[in-house]
Every structure is written in C-alpha cells, then in structure tokens.
Amino acid sequence: MTEKSAWLEINLRTLARNTRLILEALGEDVVLMAVVKSNAYGHGLIRSALTIWSAGAQWLCVNSVAEGVELRHAGMKAPILVMGYVPPAEIPYLISENLDVALFDLNFARLLQAEALRQRKPVYVHIKLDTGMHRLGVLPENFFEFLEGLEAFPALKIRALYSHLAYPEDQQFTLKQINTLKEVLFNCQRRNLFFPMVHLLNSRGTFLYPEARFDAVRMGRSIYGLDKFIDTQPALQFKTRIVQVKTIQKGEKVGYDCTFETKRRTTLAVIAVGYADGYPRALSNKGEVLIAGRRCPIIGRVCMNMSMVDVSDLTILPKPGQEVVLLGTMARSQITASELANWAATSDYEIITRLSSSLPRVYIE
C-alpha cells in the first residue's frame, strides 16, 4: 500500500532548527529539557526525540516508563525524566533503564528504595514542589518534613527540585509561584541544603519570565513550533484526500443529524478523514480545509472516517485523490493548530496530541 487516505508529515529539519534556535536563545547557562511525552506531541516519539536530542537538547522528558524504555531501546543515551504516574510493577524497568523520576510521595519512595537495593543501583529523583497549580507535588508547608522522610531511603539520589506553572499569562499568579519556589530554596540554603538542578518554566514561561529560568527549562510547544516568541515554525502537517465530488441542489441536507442545509446549488467533496483519526467532531460546520491552496468550509457533521467540504467556490473542480490539507500550509494559505483549537473550543495541545497513533507519519529529512 503506497497511497495513504490520511497521514501526517513531520519535517525533522524544522524540529532540529527549532531546537537550535531555542538553545541559542537560552545561552550556555540554561539546560534544555525537551518534552517528548504523548508521542512527542503527536509528532512520533522516536524520530522526533532523536532529532531533538541530536540538535542539542540535553534532557528528554516523558510521561511514562513505557515511553522512557522505548527511547532507551531506540539507542538514546540522554538523561530522561519520567514525570507521570509510575505503577509499582514498572519500577524495575524505571531503574534498570536508568530513568529519572518525579517524586512527591514517601510511599512511592519506599517502593523505589526496595527495588534500587534489589538491583544494587541508585535511582535519581526530581522532587516535585506544588507551588500553586495543585496537581502533583509536595505542598510547601510539608516540604521539609518530606525531606526528612527521604533520609530513610539512601538509595534515592536527589537530582533536582522542580515545579510547574499553571498559567504563565497571568503575571500575578505566576510571580507568586516563582516566589514560592524561591522561598523554599532560600530556606533550604539556610539549612545548608542544595539541589544539583532546579527547573520550573515551560515554553511560554521561558520567554515571559527569563529571570526564573534557574538551571534548566522544560520546553515542548516551542520545539514543535506552536509558539512564536522566536522564529520557530510548525513541524507537522495533517493531510488527507478527496474521495468523491458531487453537486447537490439548494435545500438539501448534508451529513448525520441533518445539521447543514444548502443555501445554494452546492458542489461538495467528501474527504477521507474523521474524528477517529483525531480530526475533532467539534469542527462540524465550523472548520476549514485547504484544497488547491484555498480555504473551503466543513459542512455537516464530521463523521468517524469521513467529512464533507463545500468546494463550490473553487475555480477548478477538484478530483478524487486530490490532496487536502487539514493542518498546515498549501500554496500561500495556512491553517494552524491554534486556529483548529479556536474552532473546536479546545487547546492546540489537544489538537496535536489527539492525532491518532494509527495515522501514518511521513518524515521529511
């Protein structure tokens, strides 16, 4: 099978360029921890992570042990931080594959200690401080009690202290988070406690609060070209093909639930993509696609594997098999992840990370 009905194109040169631009902006004193969780934000874990690491990123961050193990088996020697939930059954693989892990719970620390002793090797941890987001992390008022508890687990080696921003665009709240972390660090210094590394900022935070970069920053969206703080570019395009073209009369219904009625004699194209591929159903009667370099609206419900598009205004009638851009650039027109997110009332993170893993990924080098 050579011709694909729907697929992603990932430009690895763009990923590498984005990474180098970020490293240049950070300078030599700040380490880049590249976030490649959730299949590298839909870009494909192995090829994307290898490209980003080869371009100079010093660390890789994943959500799960499985992602870390997959990277190790692909030959990546970079330090890797597992930031998400680790089931007890996966702790042996975490340690054997030399993966760092987020730590915020003493019961989990006890399990790590037992397995580290069994394997006769240390496990490196990044203590997660909850500075106000109230997701994972040790609360500041419990922090020193937590550190005292860790003294019972000498096989655990503290690599870093870190936290995570909730809303970088809210300066007042973000500064409160930054100051909470600084206050904990100050109190640690008073007790002669120091951390090899401190990291807090995500992509937006890195450029909005450069004074809080500390030793390292964790960046994802800027690497994938979702931000425009510097001249990074999107590396991913989502494409499909036309299956059928037909002309229907004014007053006809289109699609499931009859949510669209033609206001004129309409030429529509049925395209080979739907919500099972990660193209949101919320784009029904809202989204647009690019055909022959021009925007054409989605009409009717986005179906599981197909969608309908009004192509009446195109100068030349499109043909079955013709390429359609759902996300990306064609000629001088572009549809961005942020635009899709606005139409679907969601975030650009969700748009790209929900792109189906079954979609073929075509890598451009």
pLDDT (tens digit, 0 to 9) for every residue of the chain, 365 residues total?
467 899 999 999 999 999 999 999 999 999 999 999 999 999 999 999 999 999 999 999 999 999 999 999 999 999 999 999 999 999 999 999 999 999 999 999 999 999 999 999 999 999 999 999 999 999 999 999 999 999 999 999 999 999 999 999 999 999 999 999 999 999 999 999 999 999 999 999 999 999 999 999 999 999 999 998 999 999 999 999 999 999 999 999 999 999 999 999 999 999 999 999 999 999 999 999 999 999 999 999 999 999 999 999 999 999 999 999 999 999 999 999 999 999 999 999 999 999 999 999 999 99
Please tell me whether residue 295 adopts helix, strand or coil conformation.
Answer: strand
Distance of CA 265 to the CA centre of its chain: 42
Instruction: Tell me if 255 sits within 8 A of 304, measured CB to CB.
Output: no
pLDDT score, position 2: 62
Q: Which domains does the chain have, with CATH numbers?
A: 12-219 (3.20.20.10), 236-364 (2.40.37.10)
Please report, to the nearest 10 degrees, the dihedral formed by the alpha carbons of residues 85, 189, 35, 166 taken in order: 80
d(CA 351, CA 327): 10
pLDDT given at position 3 = 74
CA distance 6 to 272: 7
Runs of H (alpha helix) within the chain: 12-26, 37-41, 45-54, 65-73, 91-96, 106-119, 143-150, 171-190, 203-208, 337-344, 348-353
- How far apart are the C-alpha atoms of 132 and 44, rounded to whole Å? 32
The residues, ordered by sequence, that sit 6+ positions from 137 with a Cβ below 8 Å of its Cβ are 104, 128, 129, 130, 131, 163, 164
pTM to 2 decimal places: 0.95
Residues with catalytic roles: 37, 256
pLDDT at position 94 is 98
What one-character DSSP code corresponds to residue 241? E
Q: Which two tokens stand for residue 256?
A: 């499931």
Structure-block tokens of residue 293: 């370099």
Indicate the SS3 state at residue 235. coil
